[in-house]
């Protein structure tokens, strides 16, 4: 697929690729220069607990989670 470098030096990852790979806003990537004009873009692995706070805050109602009694 074709993409264009913006005046700010940004490159847009085509929507089809973002959808296929579930790329979300704020995810980080590493860019490597392999040879002149040849680059590799690799998504960084998410931290193990990334998104947990947002998930908990999206609970359907207050008190949704209850303590587990032993």
> What does the pLDDT look like over 53-69, one tens digit per residue?
777 777 777 766 677 78
pLDDT of residue 52: 79
Please enumerate, as own/partner, the contacts of 7-13 that have beta carbons within 8 Å and a separation of 24 or more.
Answer: 13/41
Residue numbers of the domain that contains 16: 1-70
**Distance separating alpha carbons of residues 33 and 37, to the nearest angstrom:** 8
| CA-derived radius of gyration, the chain | 19
Tally of domains in the chain: 1
> What does the pLDDT look like over 11-59, one tens digit per residue?
999 999 999 998 988 889 999 999 999 999 999 987 777 777 777 777 7
User: Residue 10 sits in a domain of what CATH number?
Assistant: 2.10.260
């Amino acid at each position: 697929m074709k993409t264009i470098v913006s005046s700010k030096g940004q490159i847009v990852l085509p929507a089809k690729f973002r959808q296929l790979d579930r790329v979300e806003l704020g995810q980080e990537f590493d860019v490597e220069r392999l040879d002149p004009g040849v680059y590799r873009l690799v998504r960084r692995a998410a931290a193990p607990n990334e998104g947990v706070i947002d998930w908990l805050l999206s609970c359907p109602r207050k008190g949704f989670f209850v303590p587990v009694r032993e």
